[in-house]
Structure 1
Amino acid sequence: MTELIIIGAGGHAAELNEYINYAPCQSEAQQIKIKGFLDDNAKSYEAYQFTAPYLGSINEHIIAKDTCYLMAIANLKYRRPIIERFLAKGAKFISFIHKTALVSPSAVIGEGSIIGPNVNLGPNVKIGEFNLINSRCSLGHDTRVGNFNFISPNVCFSGFTTIGHENLFGINSVTIPQITIGNNNKIAAGMVIDQNVKDDSTVFYRFKEKVIAVPKK
C-alpha cells in the first residue's frame, strides 16, 4: 500500500482524489491510500468533498519520508518551484496512470507524471517528469514531451511532435505531425499548431477564414 499526500487542494486535486478512490491506477500492485492534502489556502480545501483531511500549508509542511507525493497544482508559476523544493528536502514522487488510459507497451513515462482518464499514448511516446496529461488527450506515435508541462483535456499531438518544458496547452489544442514546440509557451484553447514554436511565446489567433468545400455535381 502506497500512502500519498497530494500537493494542492483545488479543482485538479479534487479530480485526482476521485481518480484514485473510484478508478484506481493501472498497476494492481500499486494500491494507493491518500493521507491528505496540502494547500496554502485552506478555503480551497473547503470547496470540495475530499476523502482525506487537510494537512496544512505547503510552505510549512515537513516532508514525510515514508510517504509519496503527487503535484495537483495546475499553475505553471508554482508547479516546478514547489516540486524542486520538495525534492531537495527528500520527498519521493510517484506517477499515476488512470485505469482507463490506453498506454502503448513501448511508451515511457517519467517520475511524477499524471496520466488522466481515457488518455491515449501511442507507440514510442516518451513523457518526461512531472507532466500533467489531462483526460482524453491523445499523443501520437513517437511524440516526445519534456518536463513540467500542463496539457489540458482533449489536446492531441500528432505523430513525431516534440514538446519542451513548462508549456501550457489549452483545451482542444492540436499539433500537425512533426511539430516542435520549445519551452515556456502558452498555447491557447482550440489552436491548431501547424508551424514550430520556439520559446516564451503565446500562441493565439482568431480564425478569419471560413472554407466550405462543395462537391461538384
Structure 2
Amino acid sequence: MKNVIIIGAGGHGAELDEYIQFSQKCSGIKTLKVVGFLDDNPANYASYHFSAPLMGGVREHKVVPDGFYIIGIANLAYRRFFVELFLSQGARFLTFVHSTAYVSESATIGQGSIIGPYVNVGPNAQVGNFTLINSRCSLGHDTVIGDFDFISPNVCFSGFSSVGNDNLFGINSSTIPHIRVGNRNKIAAGMVLDHHVPDDSVVFYRFKEKVIAMPAESHNKQIS
C-alpha cells in the first residue's frame, strides 16, 4: 500500500481524490491510500469533502521520504514550480491512470502524469511528465504530448498531433491531424486547431452571430 499526499486541496485536488477512491472501488484492488492534502489556503480544503485531512501548507511542507505525491494544482504557473521544488527535496511522484481509461499497450505515460476517466490513449501515443489528461479526452494514434500540459475535459487530438510543454487546452478544443503546438500556449475552449501554433501564443476566436428576430404577430401573418 502506497501512502499518497495530494498537493492542492481545491477543485482539481478533490477530483483526483475521487478518481483514486472510485478506481479502487471498481477494481477491488487497493494499492493507494490518500493520507493528506497540502494547500496554502485552508478555505480551499473546507469547500470539498475529502477522504483525508489537510496536513498544512504547500510551502512549509517537509517531504515525506516514504510517501508518494500527486500534483493537484491546476494553475500552470504553480504546477511546475511546486513539482520542481518537491523533486529537489527528494519527493516521489505517482503516475495515475483511471480504471475507466483505455491506454494502448504501445502508448507511454510519463512520471507524475494523470490519465482521467474515460480517456482514450491510442497506439504509439506518448504523454510526458506531470501532464494532466482530463476526463473524456482522446489522443489519436502517434500523438505526442509534452511535460506539464493541462488538457481540459473533452479535448481531442487527431493522429500525429504534437504538443510541447506547459500548454493549456480549454474544454472541447481539438486538432486536425499532424498539427504541431509549441510551448506555453493557451488554447481557448472550443477551438479547432487547423494551423501549427508557435510558442507563447493565445488561440482565441470570437464568433459573432447576427440574429434576426421576427415579432410573433408578423410571423403569423406571413404563414397565414
TM-score bin, normalised by smaller chain? over 0.9
5-14 or 26-35, larger mean C-alpha shift: 26-35
Change (3 A) 1:27 1:79: farther
Give the AA of the match of 2:89: K
Q: Note closer, same or farther for the CA distance 1:195–1:122 as it changes in structure 2 (3 Å cut).
A: same
Name the counterpart of 1:114. Answer: 114
Number of the residue aligned with 1:173: 173
Give me the TM-score of the superposition, normalised by structure 1.
0.93
What aligned pairs does 1:150-189 form with structure 2 within 5 A after superposition? 150-189=150-189
- Specify every segment of 5 or more residues in structure 1 that has no aligned partner in the other structure, as ranges: 211-217
Deviations 1:97-153 (A, max 9, x none): 000001100000000000000000000001110000000000000000110000000
How far, CA to CA, are the matches of 2:86 and 2:30 in structure 1? Answer: 22
2:90 aligned with 1:93: no
Name the counterpart of 2:58. 58
Once superposed, what is the RMSD of the aligned Cα atoms? 1.7
Q: How many angstroms does 1:26 deviate by?
A: 9.6
Partners of 2:155 and 2:129 lie apart in 1 by: 18
Q: Matches of 2:182 and 2:22 in 1, distance apart?
A: 36
What's the CA shift for 1:23? 1.9
Q: What is the percentage of aligned positions where both structures have the same residue?
A: 61
Is the 1:138–1:157 Cα contact (8 Å) retained in structure 2?
Answer: yes
The answer to whether the 8 A contact 1:12-1:74 is kept is: yes
> Residue 37 of structure 1 aligns with which residue?
37
Contact 1:26 1:98 in 2 (8 A): no
| Offset, 1:206 | 2.3
Of the structure 1 ranges 116-125 and 15-24, higher mean CA displacement relative to structure 2 is found in 15-24
User: How many residues of Structure 1 are paired with residues of Structure 2 in the alignment?
Assistant: 210
Counterparts of 2:45 and 2:8, CA distance in 1:
8
* Distance in 2 separating the partners of 1:79 and 1:56: 18
Cα deviation for residue 24 of structure 1 reads 2.7
Residue pair 1:40, 1:56 contacting (<8 A) in 2 also:
yes
Stretch of structure 1 that moved more, 8-17 or 24-33: 24-33
Aligned residue for 1:12? 12
Judging by fraction of residues, say which structure has more helix. Answer: 2
Please say which of residues 66-75 and 26-35 is displaced more in the overlay: 26-35
Divergent runs of 4+, >6 A: 25-30
**Structure 2: 5+ residue runs without aligned partners?**
211-224
**How much has 1:199 moved relative to structure 2?**
0.3
Q: CA deviation at 1:25?
A: 9.4
Q: Give TM-score, length-normalised by structure 2.
A: 0.90
Report which of the two structures shows the higher radius of gyration computed on alpha carbons: 2
1:25–1:58: structure 2 CA closer, same or farther, 3 Å change rule? farther
